[in-house]
């Protein structure tokens, strides 16, 4: 059993398990799946008398905090109990392209040139982390939810706004990865 858990699961198994979350949540209490709403719930819990947007009964959505906590706990448990001793393998063509951007550390999941204190306090790091974080946060609120909420829950409920949001998320991802990111990485 432990060997099965140590191997990557096929996409069709993981996809089916994620897909089963939708009917389970609907049947177990008409709950909607999405991660970005937790930021609103956290703000409503911390600042109950503040902005009008945060004045609602956030305690009805307490289950969502446990859901995200379970995701984090599962990641930590997996990292501690099932560490992968194999280094990250990067396609040679991608490694060459990344080297052109000044990213040469490909032995770990997070390149040190981007994910370190020195990388954070550079112009490139500020644009990627602060700018990207703002755009993701603003975009998910403007779109009425995040990729998980729209692409998993919204599409399974055949919601037109979720289809539009998911198409825009994908288009934005392609544009960013292929046009904007190379420009930023050359800074």
120 and 186 together in one domain: yes
Query: Which pLDDT does position 23 carry in this prediction?
Result: 85
Q: Is 155 contained in some domain?
A: yes
Query: Which pLDDT does position 73 carry in this prediction?
Result: 94
Q: Is 99 contained in some domain?
A: no
- The residue-averaged pLDDT of 80-109 equals 81
72 and 10 together in one domain: yes
48 and 120 together in one domain: no
The percentage of the chain sitting over the pLDDT mark of 90, rounded to a whole number, equals 7
- The residue-averaged pLDDT of 47-74 equals 84
Domain that holds residue 139: 116-187
Q: Is 150 contained in some domain?
A: yes
Smallest CA-to-CA distance from 180 within 118, 139, 127, 121 is with 127
The percentage of the chain sitting over the pLDDT mark of 70, rounded to a whole number, equals 97
Query: Which pLDDT does position 6 carry in this prediction?
Result: 67
Q: Token pair of 8, please?
A: 């990557």
128 and 186 together in one domain: yes
pLDDT bucket at 174, cuts 50 / 70 / 90? very high
pLDDT in tens, 80-92: 877 777 777 888 9
Give the residue carrying structure tokens 């997996």.
78
Model pTM score: 0.69
pLDDT bucket at 46, cuts 50 / 70 / 90? confident
Residue scoring higher pLDDT (32 or 94): 94
Q: Is 40 contained in some domain?
A: yes
Checking if the pLDDT of 2 tops 90, the result is: no
80 and 123 together in one domain: no
Cβ contact 33:152 at 8 Å: yes
Q: Is 170 contained in some domain?
A: yes
* Count of C-beta atoms within a 10 Å radius of residue 90: 15
* Count of C-beta atoms within a 10 Å radius of residue 72: 9
Helix (H) or strand (E) run with residue 170 in it? helix 160-175
Q: How many domains does the chain have?
A: 2
pLDDT in tens, 138-171: 777 777 888 878 888 888 888 898 899 899 989 9
């Amino acid at each position: 059993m432990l060997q099965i858990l140590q191997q990557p699961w096929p996409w069709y198994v993981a996809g089916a398990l994620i897909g089963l979350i939708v009917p389970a949540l609907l049947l177990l209490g008409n709950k909607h799946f999405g991660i970005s709403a937790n930021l609103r719930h956290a703000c409503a819990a911390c600042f109950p008398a503040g902005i009008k947007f945060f004045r609602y009964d956030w305690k009805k959505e307490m289950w969502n905090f446990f859901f995200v906590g379970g995701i984090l706990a599962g990641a930590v448990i997996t990292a501690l109990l099932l560490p992968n001793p194999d280094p990250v393998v990067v396609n040679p063509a991608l490694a060459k392209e990344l080297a052109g951007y000044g990213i040469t550390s490909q032995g770990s999941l997070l390149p040190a040139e981007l994910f370190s204190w020195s990388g954070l306090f550079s112009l490139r790091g500020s644009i990627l982390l602060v700018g990207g974080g703002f755009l993701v946060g603003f975009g998910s609120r403007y779109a009425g939810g995040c990729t998980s909420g729209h692409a998993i829950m919204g599409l399974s409920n055949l919601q037109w706004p979720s289809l539009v949001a998911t198409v825009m998320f994908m288009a934005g991802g392609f544009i960013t990865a292929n046009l904007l990111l190379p420009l930023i990485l050359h800074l």
